[in-house]
């Protein structure tokens, strides 16, 4: 009997899934695959990019698990009975002329019922009836044994979306504020609201970019910190800001914004511009201004944004300010990309970073907030088909996803104010920036959704750069990480996880406000507070709840704390560097904020 060979086959040391970030913008090629993708892409546009298959699966999962839980059904029946009795008691006392305490209260972020008229019968009865139904559904969509947590949370989200459509605040004859205003204006508010509705409908259908109002024009009123474009490629422009002090810190600062937004969220009006503040504190500041990609740029990848974005910017700064390390600051997805770049640099023994600041940026996506409710295999495939057809994720499709997270304020409260109360939207700097949205190239967005959000590869040890896996724990540069208390895009406990996956010196700040407002927390801003804690290198991990209990809040802005951190990591002061480096190919091209900020 012949002996079996004992010779071992050659084995690849790197698992296939880690050699490179997979690009799964199309299923395995089949003869008629393109026909299917064209039809699915058209269907996706018709539904606004929302997969009905994923929603159907969510409802089915919830309903089937609840159907086999008679104990839970009895619990919900009792809860419904209790809510009904509370409503009956409240109604009886209200109709008898009393002023009973309301048994149900709106959520903290729900401002639809702030008008005093909602505290008077019969409006208070309608409000309490709606809130009682909302309370019951919150319990009905709570966890059921065996039900996936994502399906439980998604069902609650979907119920909330449906309930919001029937809120009494949406109907003129049920809303005391609308009734009072209609009476006071003789109905003029409804006429003006109809005009607003027609304008918005035409804008939605035409998708013509609305120019900013007077007093809020980028380059003149916003994004107006003086500087120059010192480098440009097809992905980004590098802005260098004109020094405002006689001496500057030796180490320059690079700002890496998210490509999902225009960079000037960090350079709004002069009084709340983080960039202007930083320059005024004696730092040489550079910022990336990403392009607004078109269908021709559909093949731009995450690696393009890292290599020809962040790394190209570091190379340019190294030529303009030679021999100096760089303070790198990443915001939102820009922070995620910066973390990837920093880990790859650490692996490759590239020590050009003096420090790393991550603002409202996640490196682990297992608790990525309510945006994660939109994502599963069905939903990502649906978006990929839509992007495959049009080459990018369009601005309205992305804006709707963000608006639906807080539909109470961002959709319904605004609609009531604009269409029934006849009030114009008052322009604000952050409001103008918020409407100045960008597109996402198909390949990059697919890689981001799959590799980071869906598969969470970065902290799972399966994210590769240039064919080799990277690890965040390799980063040795001091880190300054900022989370915001009411962030629904990058929840602070998710941002805090940077402490779990790194070992170096790290300062964590938790500031009041949300994803944008918490970052734009300039000194002098009223009602601001923050917490700050320091973890030395190689210290033991402290969970977020314990950290929160240990660290006392401080009043004011966190910006000065950041300046102190950067100053401690700097080597001294000297004269400002020149604007650009023409001899090295980085001559000033045009004044800041450059060309890409104006792309629509």
- List active site positions: 332
Which residue intervals of 47-148 are DSSP H helices?
A: 52-67, 70-95, 123-140
Which residues face 484 on adjacent strands?
511
For residue 241, list its beta bridge partners. Answer: 227
Q: For residues 539 and 556, is the Cβ–Cβ distance under 8 A? A: no
Rg (CA), the chain: 27
d(Cα 53, Cα 198) in Å, to the nearest integer? Answer: 33
Q: Tell me the C-alpha distance between 86 and 103, whole Å.
A: 7
Residue 538 burial (CB < 10 Å; 0-12/13-18/19+)? exposed
DSSP state letters, 186-217: TTHHHHHHHHHHHHHHHHHHH-PPPPPPTT--
Q: With H, G, I as helix, E, B as strand and everything else as coil, classify residue 574.
A: strand
Which residues are CB-neighbours of 589 under 8 A, at least 6 positions away? 228, 229, 230, 231, 232
Tokens 């892409």 found at? 41
Residue with tokens 């690079």: 254
Would you state the structure tokens that stand for residue 550, as one six-digit string?
């240990």
Measuring CA to CA, which residue among 401, 458, 399, 405 is closest to residue 434? 399
Q: Which residues, including other chains, have CB under 8 Å from residue 339's CB and lie 6 or more apart?
A: 330, 356, 358, 361, 363, 458, 472, 475, 498
- Listing DSSP states for 384-403 in one string gives HHHHHHHSEE-HHHHHHHHH
Terminal CA-CA length for the chain: 75
Whole-angstrom Cα distance, residue 83 to residue 536? Answer: 51
């Amino acid at each position: 009997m012949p002996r079996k060979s004992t010779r071992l086959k050659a084995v690849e040391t790197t698992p296939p899934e880690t050699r490179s970030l997979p690009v799964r913008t199309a299923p395995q090629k089949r003869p008629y695959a393109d026909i299917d993708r064209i039809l699915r892409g058209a269907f996706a546009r018709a539904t606004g990019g929302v997969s009905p298959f994923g929603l159907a699966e969510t409802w089915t999962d919830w309903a089937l698990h609840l159907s086999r839980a008679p104990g839970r059904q009895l619990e919900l029946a009792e809860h419904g009975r209790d809510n009904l009795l509370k409503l009956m008691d409240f109604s009886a006392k209200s109709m008898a002329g009393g002023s009973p305490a309301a048994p149900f209260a709106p959520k903290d972020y729900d401002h639809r019922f702030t008008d005093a008229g909602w505290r008077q019968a019969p409006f208070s009865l309608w409000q309490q009836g709606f809130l009682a139904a909302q309370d019951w559904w919150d319990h009905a969509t709570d966890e059921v044994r065996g039900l996936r947590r994502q399906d439980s949370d998604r069902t609650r989200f979907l119920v909330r979306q449906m309930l919001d459509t029937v809120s009494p605040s949406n109907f003129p004859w049920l809303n005391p504020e609308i009734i009072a205003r209609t009476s006071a204006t003789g109905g003029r508010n409804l006429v003006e609201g109809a005009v607003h509705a027609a304008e918005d409908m035409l804008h939605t259908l035409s998708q013509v970019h609305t120019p900013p109002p007077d007093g809020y024009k980028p380059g003149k009123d916003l994004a107006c910190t003086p500087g120059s474009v010192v480098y440009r490629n097809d992905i980004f422009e590098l802005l260098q800001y004109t020094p405002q002090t006689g001496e500057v810190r030796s180490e320059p600062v690079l700002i890496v914004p998210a490509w999902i937004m225009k960079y000037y969220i960090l350079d709004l009006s002069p009084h709340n511009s983080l960039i202007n503040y930083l320059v005024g504190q004696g730092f040489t500041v550079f910022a990336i201004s990403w392009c607004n990609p078109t269908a021709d740029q559909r093949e731009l990848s995450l690696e393009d944004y890292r290599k020809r974005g962040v790394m190209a910017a570091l190379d340019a700064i190294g030529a303009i300010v030679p021999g100096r390390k760089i303070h790198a600051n990443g915001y939102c997805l820009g922070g995620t990309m910066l973390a990837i770049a920093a880990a790859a640099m650490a692996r490759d023994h590239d020590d050009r970073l003096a420090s790393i600041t991550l603002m409202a940026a996640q490196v682990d996506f297992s608790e990525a907030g309510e945006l994660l409710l939109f994502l599963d295999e069905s939903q990502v495939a649906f978006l990929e088909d839509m992007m495959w057809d049009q080459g990018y994720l369009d601005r309205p499709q992305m804006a709707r996803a963000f608006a639906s997270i807080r539909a109470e304020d961002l959709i319904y409260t605004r609609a009531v104010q604009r269409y029934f109360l006849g009030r114009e939207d008052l322009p604000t700097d952050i409001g103008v920036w918020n409407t100045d949205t960008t597109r996402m190239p198909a390949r990059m967005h697919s890689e981001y959704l799959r590799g980071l959000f869906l598969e969470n590869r970065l902290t799972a040890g399966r994210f590769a750069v240039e064919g080799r896996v990277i690890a965040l724990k390799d980063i040795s540069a001091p880190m300054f990480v900022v989370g915001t208390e009411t962030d629904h895009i990058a929840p602070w406990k998710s941002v805090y996880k940077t402490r779990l996956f790194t070992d170096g010196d790290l300062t964590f700040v938790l500031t009041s406000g949300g994803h944008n407002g918490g970052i734009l927390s300039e000194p002098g801003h009223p009602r601001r507070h923050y917490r700050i804690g320091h973890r030395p290198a190689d210290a033991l991990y402290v969970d977020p709840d314990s950290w929160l209990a240990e660290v006392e809040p401080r009043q004011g802005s966190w910006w000065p704390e950041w300046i102190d951190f950067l100053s401690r990591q700097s080597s001294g002061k000297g004269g400002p560097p020149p604007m650009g480096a023409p001899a090295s190919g980085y001559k000033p091209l045009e004044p800041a904020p450059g060309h890409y900020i104006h792309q629509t």
